[in-house]
Every structure is written in C-alpha cells, then in structure tokens.
Amino acid sequence: MNQPRWIFLIYVIAVSVGCRRDMFIQPSLRPLERTDAFRNTMASRPMVPNTVARDQLDDDTEFYTGKIGTNLVATLPHPITRQMLERGQERYNIYCAPCHSQTGDGNGMIVQRGFPRPPSYHIDRLRQAPIGHFYDVITHGYGIMYPYAARVEPEDRWAIAAYIRVLQTSQNAQVTDIPAADRTQLEAKK
C-alpha cells in the first residue's frame, strides 16, 4: 500500500527536475545590446549579403500597385509583347473566364450556374477605364469578386490586364480601325 506513494513521489521528483524557470522565461538579447555570445560582442547580427527584407522588394510602386500616388496608371509599366499577351490569355482563361467568359461578356460558366453576373468588359465604363483599374481589381477584388493577389503574380496580373484590352479591342473594332494597307491585304485574302 505504501509502494504507490513512493512511485508517485519518485515520478514527481523526476518531472520537477526537468522543469526549470528559464524554460518558461527564456533568456533573450535586445538589439544593439552587448553580449559575449558572439565574437564582435553585439547582439544584433549583420544582414546576410544579398538578402531582401520582407515587403521591401516591391520598390516599383507603379508596377506593384497599378497606381501613381492615388491615380490609376493609364499605360502598362512594361512593353507589350506577343509572349506577354499569350501568357495573359492563358492566365485569363484559368482565373477569369469561369465568371467573365472567354470573350469577356460576363457570361461565364459560373454565371450560367446561378452566380451573379460580372459586368461585361465591353461596356463604355470599362473600355474607358485606365488599365491600372483592371490590375487593381485583380489585386484587391471588387464587389463580390475576391482578390487574386495571393493567386496571381504581379507580372501575370499585368498580362491579364493587357489581354483584357485585347478582348475589348477585338469585340469593338471597326473596319476603319485597320490601317489601309492591311485592310487591302485582308480583302485580298477573301
């Protein structure tokens, strides 16, 4: 009968030996404080060469926000290339077409299944909107559209915005928009 008490007492002693106060309140060093832990006696460690502090890489505010100050940018921050437009089309078809449709009319498959319809990219308000508007909406969301900043990289957001402009042009182009030399070439192919 006395034996379980001794076993319990030995168990308590063994457990209490492992519990020390400095495990609860761990010693720490304050920045710029003197310490003997390092050779140069400074608690602060120098930055590793070529490192970038968190959230400090985005120094091109026009590229990463789509704005100059509080105004939306009116032009792409980098040149348009065929490769960029193809990438924009690919990303658009993945992330945007389910709601906005492949033509940008706002009648995507999700809408056909009962979700609210987004506005068509072909309405005057969006055709006249600066390209930074599309980048900003992709980044922060708008209305019931949630933000895609965590899913789509900034370069791809610009590619999608450029592709939206291509969609707008393709659906609203007039024959007179084509240069005369190209127009005759197209008519010859008929």
| Domain CATH code at residue 92 | 1.10.760.10
Domain that holds residue 93: 72-172
Does 79 reside within a domain? yes
Give 62-103 pLDDT, tens digit per residue.
Answer: 888 899 889 999 999 889 999 999 999 999 999 999 999 999
SS3 67: strand
What pLDDT does residue 85 have? 96
- What are the Cα distances from residue 154, in Å, to 53, 135, 149? 19, 8, 8
Which of the four pLDDT bands, split at 50, 70 and 90, describes residue 105? very high
Does 167 reside within a domain? yes
Residue pair 106/120 in contact (Cβ under 8 Å)? The answer is yes
Does 63 reside within a domain? no
Residues 6+ apart with CB under 8 A from 164: 88, 92, 96, 104, 121, 134
Does 113 reside within a domain? yes
- Element spanning 72, H or E: strand 71-72
Does 140 reside within a domain? yes
The whole-model pTM stands at 0.67
Residue pair 101/108 in contact (Cβ under 8 Å)? The answer is yes
d(CA 90, CA 121): 17
DSSP codes of every residue in 4-46 = HHHHHHHHHHHHHHH--HHHHS-----TT-B-SSSTT-BSSPP
Structural domain count of the chain: 1
